[in-house]
Structure 1
Amino acid sequence: MIKEISSTQNPTIKHLVALQEKSRIRRKTGEFLIEGVREINLAFDAGFELTQIFFCPEIAQTEALEELQTKISSTTEQIVVTEEVYKKIAYRSGTEGIIASAKAKKNALNDLDLPENPLILIAEAPEKPGNIGALLRTADAAGVDAFILANPRTDLYNPNIIRSSVGGLFTIPVATGSTEEVINFLKHQNISIYTAILQEAISYEKQDFTTSSALVVGTEADGLSEEWRNAAKQNIIIPMQGRLDSMNVSVAAAILIFEARRQRGFTL
């Protein structure tokens, strides 16, 4: 049976707004929101449990809604909301009138199911959700085997990460952990560490990435911590011709990851 909610003061709607705005609530409840048909379908395909679907008939396309309804479990609650309510809970404008609540995954390092010769992208302590989203898009585009956040400063289910990744959060294996935990995990898996650090570095084009490899990037402001410098097999740099000594972290990651893919035989 499909419920209807027409008041923005409804407790369920207030809870959804809190999920959008407060990471503390997301962590406490283990829930998060997914906005948009493509993102919801990607999350479903990735095995995320959708607990509720909220849709606005004035905005949602009938075909997209019907297709989604054929996928979801009978335990997923379906709720019709008015346009006013939808605008209250929507994070961005221009979406398709459908929002889902879902259960977050633990994203533990030991849950990663890596292939024999993995290629991993790691980012240490990125603060901006938009940068994390861009890194996830880069990781998806290159088809990496995992994306790992070391010392995360924001939770993975921040709505801006989901938005800026265009659902990339759901398309590749993702894990988080402290820098120490990630380094220990990589060593236990016999994965070589290559860090984007200026000191004692060689050009990224001269490094062989055809064996098990983890490419590690840091923030534009702080770079990587000393722990990574000590753990690295090799520091690598991207030679630059301009007067500035840094570039956006997602751009740097893209250059490194696609070079690794090229070495591994990736062609258009």
Structure 2
Amino acid sequence: MAQYITSTQNSLIKQLVQLKEKSRSRRNSGQFLIEGQREIELALKGNYVLESILFLDKIISGDSINKQIKAIENQPELISISQEVYQKLAYRKTTEGVLAVAKSKPLSLNKLHLKTKTPLILVAEAPEKPGNIGALLRTADAANVDAVIIANPKTDMYNPNIIRSSVGCVFTNQIATGSTEDIINFLKENNINIYCAALQASVDYHTQDYTRAIAIVVGTEATGLSDEWLNNSTQNIIIPMQGDIDSMNVSVAAGILIFEAKRQRQFN
């Protein structure tokens, strides 16, 4: 029978609130919160270990959860919680009544496994908004890119808003983080061509050959890419604009560039 917690003052619940709100807590504990059935399913598909599952019985039953997790080798603890506790832990307005505590994975560059000699990689330098990161991850998942690398991250990848905005694609992509310097070295060591989305010294994006091993690199809308990227670029590329502005949302730009690469590769 599942444990039942009714108080928001419970020591475990207090710890989980810290996981929800504090990047430091997630980093120090190696744990994070997942909310929603689909997100939990995608985390399991991505081989994340669930330590416990908390559920609001009036929305979803313990039996339903047991069916979802019956094939898991390491069974998570099931914890039934009150409405008050659930509202304290949930971060979405629409609710499915279930959360999980999961173990984070190391996201270092040396953990990346490139399965092909011509990988397609998306690199984003210092994205600040979790919503943009989530959208980038959704685009990467849709295109089935080989890896997503975040340079000089401003937040941890297990931020609840990234999980929410990515609709769980943070679990379906192969992700790494690192400094710009380390990522450039990694790409060069693996003979991966670097295509930087930039205004300076650029050619139209559709003129380039993306069938080779490539990394498409995007920066923030406010500042673009650092000189370090531009100085190490195989070629700077630009999406021609026909309106009055010279940039677009980073996730939209990334989508255009990635799917041009996929088109050239015949969507393989």
TM-score by length of 1: 0.97
Deviation, 1:74, is 4.6
Which structure 2 residue ranges, 5 or more long, are not aligned? none
For 1:186 and 1:66, locate their aligned partners in 2 and report how far apart those are by CA, in whole Å.
Answer: 43
Alignment-derived partner of residue 37 in structure 1: 37
1:98 corresponds to 2:98: yes
Stretch deviating more after TM superposition (184-193 or 55-64)? 55-64
CA gap 1:163/1:49 in 2 versus in 1, 3 angstroms? same
Q: Sequence identity, in percent?
A: 61
Alignment-derived partner of residue 28 in structure 2: 28
Alignment-derived partner of residue 68 in structure 2: 68
Superposition pairs for residues 1-268 of structure 1, below 5 Å? 1-60=1-60, 64-114=64-114, 115-266=116-267
Secondary structure of 1:220's counterpart equals coil
Deviation, 1:22, is 0.7
Secondary structure of 2:170's counterpart equals helix
Number of equivalenced pairs: 267
Contact 2:55 2:62 in 1 (8 A): no
Q: Which amino acid aligns with 2:118?
A: N
CA gap 1:174/1:225 in 2 versus in 1, 3 angstroms? same
For 1:18 and 1:28, locate their aligned partners in 2 and report how far apart those are by CA, in whole Å.
Answer: 11
Contact 1:147 1:174 in 2 (8 A): yes
Contact 1:61 1:96 in 2 (8 A): no
Deviation, 1:95, is 2.5
Q: Which amino acid aligns with 2:239?
A: I
For 2:94 and 2:16, locate their aligned partners in 1 and report how far apart those are by CA, in whole Å.
Answer: 19
For 2:237 and 2:190, locate their aligned partners in 1 and report how far apart those are by CA, in whole Å.
Answer: 21
Contact 1:138 1:250 in 2 (8 A): yes
Deviation, 1:61, is 5.6
Deviation, 1:69, is 3.1
Which structure 1 residue ranges, 5 or more long, are not aligned? none
For 1:93 and 1:132, locate their aligned partners in 2 and report how far apart those are by CA, in whole Å.
Answer: 20
Q: Which amino acid aligns with 1:254?
A: G
CA gap 1:155/1:212 in 2 versus in 1, 3 angstroms? same
Deviation, 1:82, is 1.1
CA gap 1:61/1:255 in 2 versus in 1, 3 angstroms? farther
For 2:245 and 2:61, locate their aligned partners in 1 and report how far apart those are by CA, in whole Å.
Answer: 47
For 2:72 and 2:80, locate their aligned partners in 1 and report how far apart those are by CA, in whole Å.
Answer: 16
Deviation, 1:66, is 3.3
Q: Which runs of 4+ in 1 moved over 3 A?
A: 61-64, 71-75
For 1:63 and 1:259, locate their aligned partners in 2 and report how far apart those are by CA, in whole Å.
Answer: 46
CA gap 1:83/1:71 in 2 versus in 1, 3 angstroms? farther
Q: Which amino acid aligns with 1:263?
A: Q
- Deviation track 1:167-207 (CA, whole Å, cap 9, x = no partner) reads 00011100000000100000010000000011111000001
For 1:79 and 1:73, locate their aligned partners in 2 and report how far apart those are by CA, in whole Å.
Answer: 18
CA gap 1:134/1:64 in 2 versus in 1, 3 angstroms? farther
Give the RMSD, CA atoms, in angstroms.
Answer: 1.3
Stretch deviating more after TM superposition (56-65 or 214-223)? 56-65
Q: Which amino acid aligns with 2:67?
A: E
For 1:39 and 1:204, locate their aligned partners in 2 and report how far apart those are by CA, in whole Å.
Answer: 34
TM-score by length of 2: 0.97
Q: Which amino acid aligns with 2:50?
A: L
For 1:191 and 1:72, locate their aligned partners in 2 and report how far apart those are by CA, in whole Å.
Answer: 37
For 1:241 and 1:64, locate their aligned partners in 2 and report how far apart those are by CA, in whole Å.
Answer: 52
Secondary structure of 2:184's counterpart equals helix
Secondary structure of 2:203's counterpart equals strand
Contact 1:50 1:72 in 2 (8 A): no
